[in-house]
Amino acid sequence: MGVRGGIDLGGTKIQAVVVGDDNDVRGQARLPTPKDGGPDGVIAAMASAVRTAAQEAKVETSALDGVGIGSPGEVNPDAGTVTNAYNVVPDWNRTIEVGGILAQDLGTRIGLGNDVRVATTAEFELGAGKPYRSILGVFWGTGVGGGIILDGRPWRGRGAAGEIGHMVVRRNGARCTCGRDGCMEAYSGRRAMELEARRRMKHGEKTHLFKIMERKNRTALTSGVWAEALEHHDDLATDLIDRAVAALGAGIASAVNLLDVEAVVIGGGLGTRLGKPYVARIEKEMGPHLFVDARPPAVHVAELGDLGGAIGASLLVRAE
């Protein structure tokens, strides 16, 4: 009894899990996010991923207590809709009734939440944030997202709190993929880093990043590509990651100066892939910018790793 589903919807992959009452993973499935079927194709892939995970858990999807979804874009949990999830597929430029469609397809109720917030709650309840009452979750991947838990409760603001990636770390600085200048994400987001790598390569800098990408049969610089380039001491990759780490240090320290949380939990594709040594470097870069430097926050790698988002999403449909 009490088996739930969870989906972490991303621009690269769709991760589904089926978990038991103790949030133990009983089944899981991972599919690449289909890029040519529009939002409909994505929703079909989400259903398919849940079915595979449910099969592994030996349960019908209609027997699940529900399926929670952590989604990018503008999420309306009450309406069950997701609007403008450009990161998932570029033509997701309208409001899609994700909840309604999947409820019918899977025969169970659907819960919706913001992807980063859901992952932060998962780390707070089940992962690296467990010992604390207030944490800042930082998800370092294609972009840089943030989730805030204050005194045990998520802080949502007017619905859009946590945009740590768009805190300014350098006025009049690098152009961000969001169109603004000097955002932390302009230095640290994987998409911005790839654009910068391409620019520099065009200007004659040498790098193996794109050769590794091709060999791995990827169409973008994934976290795995960056990790491999770093292992081989690729100069350009090393330089861009150093820049990203420094920007993360300044931006996260700024957030800590404002909020004075007990702990920072760093996850996301790059955060999880590069792991402890790089999170330790981010922590070191935070140091010089912390106002109360005698009492820094604890800094941890996200513990739930790749499945954190999907497990967190499953918490959305937990019985009260």
Residues that bind its own copies (CB under 8 A): 134, 146, 148, 150, 155-164, 166-171, 173, 178, 180-183, 246-247, 250-251, 253-255, 257-262, 288-289, 291-292, 295
Minimum CB distance to its own copies, residue 84 (Å) = 12
Given a contact cutoff of 8 angstroms between Cβ atoms, the answer to whether 70 and 84 are in contact is no
Given a contact cutoff of 8 angstroms between Cβ atoms, the answer to whether 98 and 89 are in contact is no
Minimum CB distance to its own copies, residue 76 (Å) = 15
Minimum CB distance to its own copies, residue 120 (Å) = 13
Identity of the residue numbered 58? K
CB of 214 or CB of 293, closer to its own copies: 293
Minimum CB distance to its own copies, residue 57 (Å) = 37
CB of 181 or CB of 306, closer to its own copies: 181
CB of 161 or CB of 195, closer to its own copies: 161
Sheet containing 144-150: order of strands: 153-154, 144-150, 135-140, 263-267, 298-301
CB of 60 or CB of 293, closer to its own copies: 293
CB of 62 or CB of 172, closer to its own copies: 172
Q: How far is 274 from 229, CA to CA, in rounded Å?
A: 12
Minimum CB distance to its own copies, residue 31 (Å) = 30
Strands 13-19 and 4-9: antiparallel
CB of 206 or CB of 295, closer to its own copies: 295
Sign of the CA dihedral running 167, 267, 294, 277: negative
The CA-atom distances, in angstroms, between 1 and each of 22, 28, 46 are: 11, 18, 23
Does residue 123 sit in helix, strand or coil? Answer: helix
Minimum CB distance to its own copies, residue 268 (Å) = 17
